[in-house]
Amino acid sequence: MSACVRAQSQRPEQGAATVLAVACLAVLLLLGVALGEVAALVRAHRQAQSAADLAALAGAGAGAAGAGSDACDAAARIARANHARLVGCALSGADVTVTAEVSGPHWLGRAVDLDASARAGPG
């Protein structure tokens, strides 16, 4: 009789490990998606920073050549070549400060734009 009672008391726990395994897999999947999204944001910011750095160098080079008004045009060309938009360009003597913007990843239908600034000039 005790064997029947013991068998019946263990029966309600059958399948509990399956539910736990499915829950763990769901959490791991959610964590993987979140990490992928963060990685995409970091990548987009690095792209914006690279574009800003190169645009600032191009602007400073054009400014050093004596074409001050062309410094921002040169910076804009280089930013476009690096898949970014030049959203700010300021000349201060021989220094050029630029801000470049790139489109980041889409999350839940919302676009994220990331920007970065850089300064270049002599000294």
pLDDT in tens, 50-89: 999 999 999 998 887 776 668 899 999 999 999 999 999 9
**Model's pTM, two decimal places?**
0.76
Cα distance between residue 58 and residue 66, in whole Å: 13
With 60 as the cut, is the pLDDT of residue 103 above it? yes
Closest CA to 38 of 101, 116, 114, 118: 114
Cβ-contact 58, 77 below 8 angstroms: yes
* Averaged pLDDT, 96-100: 96
Intra-chain end-to-end CA distance of the chain, in Å:
92
Average pLDDT over residues 43-55: 96
**Percent of the chain having pLDDT more than 90?**
55
- The structure tokens listed for 11 are 């029966």
| Of 11 and 113, more confident | 113
State how far the Cα of 61 lies from the Cα of 78, in Å rounded to an integer. Answer: 12
pLDDT top residue among 3 and 102:
102
pLDDT of residue 25: 96
Question: Mean pLDDT throughout 2-8?
Answer: 55
Residue numbers of the domain that contains 59: 2-120
Of 1 and 78, more confident:
78
Alpha-carbon torsion (65, 85, 52, 92), positive or negative = positive
Number of domains in the chain: 1
pLDDT of residue 87: 96
